[in-house]
Structure 1
Amino acid sequence: MGEPVGLRKRGNPPTRKPDTWTPDLLDKVAWRVDAANEPFRGVATSDGIRPGLFPRRATGADVSKVYRAAEDYLAGLTQDQLAEGRFPMDDVSWRHWNNGARYFLRHGLLLEEFDDAGRERALAVVRESLSADGYRQMVDLMRLNRTIGELCDNTHALNEWLYWFSLYGDPETGGPWGWQLDGHHVNINCVFVGDQMVLTPSFLGAEPVIAGSGKYAGTTAFRGEETLGHELFTQLDGRQRDRAVIADTMPAELVVGAFRDNGELDYQGLRLAEMSDGQRDTALQLLGLYVNRAGDHHARVRMEEVLAHEGDTHFGWAGDPDGTFYYRFHSPVILVEFEHMAGVFFDNDYPSRRHIHTIVRTPNGNDFGIDLLRRHHERHHKPRTAQPGRPS
């Protein structure tokens, strides 16, 4: 399938808060608000939530640096910034993250509006939470957002700093806390409960995936996720491919993307237990690209969690390995999706390798660390009733 050859000849969607909320804009926001206000359940199969998967426990991870980074960040904010950029743990804005360049439900503090020192304090919280590779990938995707802005001649609406940072909870007291980075193609949610960390939902994408020119020429994204996904499918024999293929056509978009916190999805595809040793190694290497976005210790803990359910981990595929494709991993504790997308800024109405979306979720109620938070409250606080649509 050929690559797109040009940009769409239309106005770019607004990324700043509109002066007037028109009926059309309000309609576009309404279903998102309704979805976020649904009582949180989590992504589950048609059998419902499987309980008991995420116990509270000590991991041994050294979280002192990230806690200190969060305290430094908060100490550097003005009272007005604190009022705008800090939220309680149960605030519904956790669930307002959304990919896209439009200004929908944005909250927190815009990185573009910080001075250099303030922006560095915000990014230090992110950097101390992620691995070096995970942080580099995030930065590269933000830079590719500027690349599309340069190609559209509209870096005011699309640039590397047009991302909103929000901090939740009480890192100063050692209580549960977390952060969210939200903007076009970078939407990361991170929660700490003691020394446990949950890094989902995390949506990452890019259009284009290679910067051929501009300020960040040479920047690339998702080379490993694409190459290893292709390699894994092509390693399968005919019978295995028949099991792995879950649809004749690729889905129109990711199945459990933004505002699908309560999505229902049954297991489909080829189980890792049905793969050869070599195929399994490729599958685990591919899964590692997503898991290892977390800092090293937390990534090891997370991979142990994933491997404990290896027998229930399914690999699903749709599309053409020689063209564009979709794949996912799905188990009781992790759900990963990768897809080649049609153009949004580029003038192609068919999927292309130039536009990629990915998401990682923790099924069965632990996105946003909500199951861990529930267990924390059961242990340390009197029972309380959760507000509809809000983490508890």
Structure 2
Amino acid sequence: MVALRQRGNAPTRKPDVWTPDLLEKVAWRVKAANEPFRGVGTSAGIRPGLFPLRSTGADVRKVYRAAEDYLAGLTDEQRAEGRFPVDDVSWRHWNNGARYFLRHGLCLEALDDAQRASAMSVVRESLSADGYGQMVDLMHLNLTVGELSGNEDGLNEWLYWFSVYGEPEKGGPWGWQLDGHHVNVNCVFVGDQMVLTPSFLGAEPVTAGSGKYAGTVAFRREEALGHELFTDLDAGQRERAVIADVLPKDLFAGAFRDNFELDYHGLSLSRMSPGQRGTALQLLGLYVNRAGDHHARVRMEEVLAHEGDTHFAWAGDPDGTFYYRFHSPVILVEFEHMPGVIFGNDHPSRRHIHTIVRTPNGGDYGADLLRQHHERHHAKRTTNNPDGRV
């Protein structure tokens, strides 16, 4: 039987009975997370050497300071519950869905106002204004779900778990994770380098027609630009881009698929016209530019360096619901219209959207950067001093 550990006093919405079905759901997730991390790759294996350890010139003082302030504002007990080693397996326990199992860290709902604001400051200093605004909108839409379903206790804007990894106050590698329904963001800093994947963002509904956050809208630009890019392709290009007539059941590289194998399919950006390429890069920018300006520029340079190996794939009906993705050695973006959960529709609709961004070939969670950091700064110390002392 799977050992079920609920950390701390944060609300976890535990079921009254752990049925065999629930236990099975937990078991396969634990098994997947415990697999040695490889990263999303192709059938040819993992391609090494794509993410050199280097200085980007980014000014990260504000985000480091925000993390220090957040930790300083916690009690000893809270720090013990909300902080983990930088290589802790709980990085890989994020999951979309209003679930209670495998949650860890501190629930924002359980923090006082100052602590909650301090946690959100860490997130804000890591992201661009648009990236932060989008994430907050999705948290607000989670309350909209609660209002529509009459379940604000189980679906609200603060039912998200925040975890800090590593020791930002010592200047070493560190990061944070925000984990809850439709918002699962992992952010790692190694020096002034930042990795912002895996990042899963979704919404149902994508528009709040009523309630506290009436008027909030999500993913319309990602949807519209994806539609524009596909419909601008000629017949031959569409034939290359289309990978299926119907949508997949879910995103290929979602939660607990850190080692997923996915080969390149679709239309290469090199086969697009200059105008189509411009639309493709604008669409990619919506995902890349969730990071702060400097880190977004560095990331886009990384993506453009592999433009010739970047593929755009499509499934579905441009006049209805659809799926698209970008896939290269350094980035994987997926967008999909989903069936209803709150709403009763069994088939995909534009009211429910999932997206994910990953860094293939070992880049997720900053894993490859952390490996290089350890080899450069700690391997010799460990070899010369088995007891770990300098």
Q: 1:246 aligns to what SS in structure 2?
A: strand
Q: Distance in 2 between matches of 1:246 and 1:21?
A: 39
* Structure 1 residue 108 corresponds to structure 2 residue 115: no
* Correspondence for 1:299: 296
- Write the letter of the residue equivalent to 1:382: A
Of residues 193, 198, 205 in structure 2, which corresponds to 1:196? 193
1:73 aligns with 2:70: yes
The one-letter amino acid paired with 1:237 is D
The equivalent residue for 2:223 is 226
Q: Which range is displaced more, 79-88 or 19-28?
A: 19-28
C-alpha displacement of 1:231: 0.2
CA distance in structure 1 between the aligned counterparts of 2:305 and 2:24, rounded to whole angstroms: 44
Deviations, residues 127-161 of structure 1 (Å, cap 9, x unaligned): 00000000000000000000010000110010000
1:119 aligns with 2:143: no
Between the aligned partners of 2:20 and 2:239, the Cα distance in structure 1 is 47
Report how far residue 259 of structure 1 moved: 0.2
Q: Which amino acid aligns with 1:125?
A: V
Q: Which amino acid aligns with 2:280?
A: A
The residue that corresponds to 1:60 in the other structure is 57
The question of 1:273 aligning with 2:270 is answered yes
Contact 1:236–1:279 under 8 Å retained in 2: yes
Deviations 1:45-89 (A, max 9, x none): 000000000000100000000000000000001011011000001
Aligned residue in 1 for 2:233: 236
2:387 aligns with none
Partner of 1:209: 206
CA distance in 1, matches of 2:95, 2:151: 21
Find the counterpart in structure 2 of residue 330 from structure 1: 327
CA contact (8 A) 1:15 1:101 kept: no
1:18 Cα offset (Å): 3.4
Give secondary structure in 2 for the equivalent of 1:73: helix
Q: Which residue of 1 aligns with 2:40?
A: 43
Q: 1:382 Cα shift?
A: 1.5
The answer to whether 1:25 aligns with 2:22 is yes
How far apart are the structure 2 equivalents of 1:222 and 1:22?
36
Does the Cα contact within 8 Å between 2:327 and 2:333 map onto a contact in 1? Answer: yes
Maintained 8 Å contact 1:56/1:376: yes
Structure 2 contact 12–103 (Cα < 8 Å) conserved: no
TM-superposed CA distance for 1:24, in Å, is 2.9
Shift of 1:23: 3.1
Partner-residue secondary structure (3-state), 1:232? helix
Residue 371 of structure 2, aligned match among 355, 363, 374: 374
Any conservation in 1 of the 2:245–2:317 contact (CA below 8 Å)?
A: no
SS of residue paired to 2:164 = strand
| Distance across 2 between alignment mates of 1:372 and 1:21 | 39
Q: Cα distance, 1:15 vs. partner? A: 5.8
C-alpha deviation, 1:28, in angstroms: 1.2
Q: Report the counterpart of residue 255 of structure 1 in structure 2.
A: 252
Per the alignment, residue 5 of structure 1 pairs with none
Question: Does residue 1:163 correspond to 2:144, yes or no?
Answer: no
The separation in 2 between residues aligned to 1:170 and 1:15, in whole angstroms, is: 26
2:299 is the counterpart of 1:317: no
Report how many residues are paired.
372
SS in 1 for 2:224: helix
Cα offsets for 1:69-116 (capped at 9, x unmatched): 000000001011011000001110000000001212000000001111
1:87 pairs with 2:84: yes
Distance 1:104 1:306 in 2: 35
- 1:179 alignment partner, one of 176, 181, 184: 176
Q: Classify the secondary structure of the residue corresponding to 2:244.
A: coil
* CA positional deviation for 1:337: 0.1
- Offset from partner CA, 1:194-249 (integer Å, 9 cap, x none): 00000000000000000000000000000100000000000100000000001122
CA RMSD of the aligned region, Å?
1.2
Q: Deviations over 1:161-184 (max 9, x none)?
A: 000000000100100000000000
CA distance in 1, matches of 2:290, 2:18: 37
TM-score by length of 1: 0.93
Aligned to 2:138: 141
Alpha-carbon deviation of 1:20?
Answer: 4.8
Runs of 5+ unmatched residues, structure 1: 1-13, 386-392
Please, what TM-score do these two structures have when normalized by structure 2? Answer: 0.94
Unaligned runs of 5+ in 2: 1-10, 384-390
